[in-house]
Amino acid sequence: MTATDHIQALRALLGEKGLLADAADRVAYETGARYDQGRAAFVARPASTQEVSAVVSYCVRNGIHLIPQSGNTGLVSGSTPDGTGTQGVLSLERLTAPFDLDRANRSVHVGAGMRLSDLNAKLEEHGLFFPIDLGADPRIGGMVSTNTGGSRFLRYGDVRRNTLGLKVVLADEEGTILDLSSSLRKNNTGVDWKQIFIGTSGAYGVVTECVLNLEPLPRQTATAILVPSDPKDVPELLLALEEALGSQLSALEGMSDNAVRAALDHVPSLRNPFQAGTIPPFSLLLEISRSNAPLKGEQPLDQMLEEVLGSIWEGENALLADAVIGKPHEVWALRHALSEGVKNSGRLIAFDLAFRRADVMRFLDHMKEHMPSRFPGVQICDFGHIGDGGVHFNLVVPRDDPRAADPTFEDSLRAWVVDVCVKDFHGSFSAEHAIGRKNQAFYNHYTPAELQRLGAEFKSITSPGLLGSVEFGTPASKTAAIL
């Protein structure tokens, strides 16, 4: 069959709105959030799990490679097609149904194509929210496939922790629909199969519906910007805050001076919270919250925060150099502006790394010491989730620097940073962005062969068809055939 025949056949399955084939209509689906650019043969836009099954079945039977795409906000080239023009994009954007809220169970059953902002808007009137806080506005299916963490991981955990059930379409000739959409919070009757599809970039199957845990909306919140006496004190400061604040501590975000400066330059309306406008080398955004309404006689959070910070300030270890309690919307506006500010300051080469909490500052110190001699002129603009060990290690190359357009330079820089992360600090090269094509080489290099074999075997069992942008390895059967 010709490409035209396939497009006509898929359009017959999905209708006119369900399939895009014209070049102008495909552009938005071919262009990623960070420098990604591919070329799709078509964009399939199914509106139900059954339509996803029909499309996947057709493509598997005809050897057509599908790339599932949710909100297209990923940063590791996991949801955009390659440049061959032979891959089809399977967009989840029309999978916005159902929306079934179970208040008693504090859960919701939603379509994988629903935006995070739309979900939380619907939940707000019920005093609930899906507790994954992000600067971007992804769709739920993509959040599941990448196991998104976010700024409040410290209190609420990641998507994996907040997923109760899934409905998945497997990439086999039947387009098998796997219904794992239980709302039970406890079910120990066998393998927890949904976990295979969380954080694996859509390679094992297409998530079409999700059952999510919900949390009560915070009804009391207090925030502050902290300046540690020395960045090396951050791990001890984190422990002191956890001991004093307990479960009320909902976020502790680290921000380097370069990242803050980039945000303030990019968004002039932001207020500089630091004394005399002098940005410290490293600062922390602290948030505490309660889900209950203020109780009679209960100490307000602002007062509690003042007391706790005052106690730490006057403590023997002198962990704090400064602390500014601010309005939550102003404090978070600065944090959420960091990403775009850094991106706007030059050619961005970004990493999503994770470490043991005690190693975060050690890694940053190491890179600040060795980066200038190895890669002079490259600016470090890091920020991240200090409370859970996650670091958005962003490197900026000036736009007028010839290296900014040199893929060989970027490859060598990425290889060095990841090698230091994994080998010297026993960290992860992907904290919450999953694999994608940008991380494929690192997965191949650092993942033990036995784990790669197991990953490939799962792929061959669940979705033997051409699905997703990630390869988890070569199944044992194929390895034996090659030998």
What domains lie within the chain, and their CATH numbers?
3-91 (3.30.43.10), 99-216 (3.30.465.10), 220-338 (3.30.70.2190), 346-436 (3.30.70.2740)
d(CA 88, CA 103): 39
Give the CA diameter of the chain. 77
Q: What three-state secondary structure class fits 256?
A: strand
pLDDT of 179 reads 97
pLDDT of 482 reads 35
Neighbours of 309 (CB within 10 A): 22
Nearest to 130 by CA among 246, 224, 210: 210
pLDDT of 483 reads 33
255's tokens: 């921000």
Sign of CA dihedral 85, 31, 138, 389: positive
Question: HSE on the CB side for 10, CA within 13 Å?
Answer: 33
Neighbours of 299 (CB within 10 A): 11
Neighbours of 219 (CB within 10 A): 12
pLDDT tens-digit series, residues 219-251: 999 999 999 999 999 999 999 999 999 999 999
pLDDT of 479 reads 42
Q: Which residues in the chain come in under a pLDDT of 70? A: 1, 475-483
d(CA 85, CA 91): 16
Nearest to 171 by CA among 376, 405, 459, 447: 459
DSSP secondary structure, 403-452, as one string: GGG-HHHHHHHHHHHHHIIIIIH--BSBSSS--HHHHHHHHHHHS-HHHH
pLDDT tens-digit series, residues 351-380: 999 999 999 999 999 999 999 999 999 999
Sign of CA dihedral 477, 471, 83, 69: positive
Whole-Å CA distances, 339 to 154, 236, 289, 453:
20, 27, 24, 36
